[in-house]
Structure 1
Amino acid sequence: MVTTARRAHVSEKAGRFTESVIREMTRQALAHGAVNLAQGFPDFGAPDDIKRAAVEAIDRDVNQYAITWGARDLRQALAQKTAWHLGLEIDPEREVTVTCGATEGMIATLMATVDPGEEVVIFEPFYENYAPDAILSGARPVYVRLHAPDWTFDPDELRAAFSERTKAIVLCNPNNPLGKVFSRQELQLIADLCMEHDVLCITDEIYEHILYDGAEHVCMAQLEGMRERTVVVNSMSKTYSVTGWRVGYCIAPPHITAAIRKVHDFLTVGAAAPLQAAGAYALSLPREYYHHLSADYQARRDLFMPALEKAGFGISVPKGAYYVMTDISRFGFRNDVEFAMHLVKEVGVACVPGSSFYSRPEDGANQVRFCFCKRDETLLAAVEKLSKLSA
């Protein structure tokens, strides 16, 4: 007997956001043979010695479950790197959780710390996962605008976003999609509000080593009074050019770590064991590796930015990460989606519509994001195609 379903069988939460626009633009790039400057993954190989470490781990039969919250050698390596890089002594047994990428680290942290009805402050434009993560956690996102061209926030607007319902603020530093690096003064203002309102700071620092023009990365946990109220979310993905490995981690005080570990256990059980072993090796690389990484990306930025400006895009030169948010108002399209589809289909370059980074799509209607984590040949091919645009 065939019956008709009386209910939609889809949750209210799932109806409040869309699939990833970033990953949809990668599919569009593949469909149209376009240069993919949409999704932030390198099109060049990971370092050979890191790849060998993964192969050797598989050959050694490191192929079964690791400890749920992370292999001990990886957690110890994370503690050692955090000590020299951030000057923070962390307990690898009680303050580190290895996750399936920073993506899982963020949702696991929010689910472990936020209750339904509470509020999470999010700077916008924001990396597109943050608002759905807050919604899936039962929280209400509260947005604070970062204003072009310097992508600064109004202290009064931020202060007004905090209330007795605020449980956490999400920070991305260096920032995706803007390439902004928050100054120490900006971070101190955020920290003061967190301490005043007893609010947790969840800081995504996946681009911590990709900095330009002498920009300084400051971790929120380094500021006085914030160590006990900060969760640092990070990953191997961007620093070691292994975005497909999905090995991330959270650093948090012991009682918060215990909650994150419980959620993580039932979300994914654990990250891939041989890739955790390779991650432990990667974290032991000398400090020169990070200097070269930043210099290489700065060269790519400096190759690509002038071409964007010449083609007619309005730009704010990024100080970190490997993205640039551009203004497209000179091109005369109705909105960012129409422009992005024209660019991928007719010009042969994929970008991300700016509206996907805002709570109100109309606020990003004159913006698109490009990434430049690509080989010089790829960037030069994009430059040639973009030169045919007319503003």
Structure 2
Amino acid sequence: MIVLTLYRLLWWVLLPIIIVTRLFRDWRSPLGVRSFLHRFGFHKLPAADLVIHAVSLGEVRAVTPLVRRLLQEKQCSILFTATTLTGSDQIIRTFKKEIASGALYHSYLPLDFGPSVSRFLAQVKPKAILIMETEIWPNLIYQAGKRHIPLLIISACLSDRSYRRYQKIAPAMHRLLKSVDVLTQTDEDTLRFEVLGARSVERMGNIKYDLTVSDTLYQKVEPLVAHRSPHSIYWIAASTHEEEEEIVVEAYIKARRRAPHLKLILVPRHPERFQEVRYLLEEYADAHDFKLSIRSEGDLLTLNPNADIWLIDTLGELLLFYLFADIVTVGGSFVPIGGHNILEPAYFAKPIIVGPHMDENRETLFNFLESRALIQVDADQLAEVVIDFANDSSLRESYGAAAQKTMAQNQGAIEVIMAKLNELLD
């Protein structure tokens, strides 16, 4: 396999740069201190029957109902891994009791560097590996196949760009994926993985439709609801990226002229940008005489109900603020990121607005647009749609109900995964 050999050599060549980059990224974040050694496999791990990997915060939340189902129904030990700092933090907080009791283990998945992957698999000795969405790591897949460890990609999807890239090395992909089972999101994804040579391919749908939320979230939001400014409408812009905060705040300035009761909740996607976004909002607040309240400066009720803008610079509270808000804009969609998860606000029956860049969520977007369960706009149109929602409660209720109904109609992916896991593990 010439391509795999070149890939391995490239890792050795780039290793010094990768080490320095990871040190910079991990140590720059308050969550990153413990992660560096994990990424290179230099930490002790217990053996586990099943490795479940989710890259980031959104994927961790999406696969959590499956993990809970497995803990309840299967007599197997689970190692739940993540790639990002926020994903790891979400696992630790969500499964705090299970980790403490030894029912579930957590680690970062090592980088796809041959020796690191080898150490990882030698320690854990899994009976199967389950990977969320589309993480095609050649060394991990190759070494799992060499050890006869079944590897299953769930809720798999391939963007046009990724598919074109993989087609350029089609013979190598055929050799790599011949031992991989795939459960896909869409018929198009199914065809693409079949063409690329996966051992077995079956459509399962999108696991993110199977979201569940604990009762404690509803209990936690009650004091915040009681604390809110009377007659105000709260618009949340969630998982925003660089340049999106400016788009959102400019739209907010315009919208306030015709919806003076509108408040803005801003939730940046990445914690390392919290301070940068705070400086930006402070500049806008000074220029436009806005009041700004910062979530990290106290407890939940320290947020000033009379403030115009709330900055949520904490982790793990996005679902809480989705539940609290009246209007939702999902970030990563006004810049060419591909969009983030619209199903979380849909679960709470919220009216949803997204931007033009939803390439990573095309089928979900189509389902919602077809059901009038979502509005897609460009940056120039954003303020107008927010004004419409802010001033019309029946419009908010109509779109919110349609979003929740569309989500409910597409559930059931977990049952397909459970059946496949039973086949692989039994």
Using structure 1 for the length normalisation, give the TM-score. Answer: 0.31
Higher fraction of helix: 2
Greater relative CO (CA pairs within 8 A, separation 6+): 1
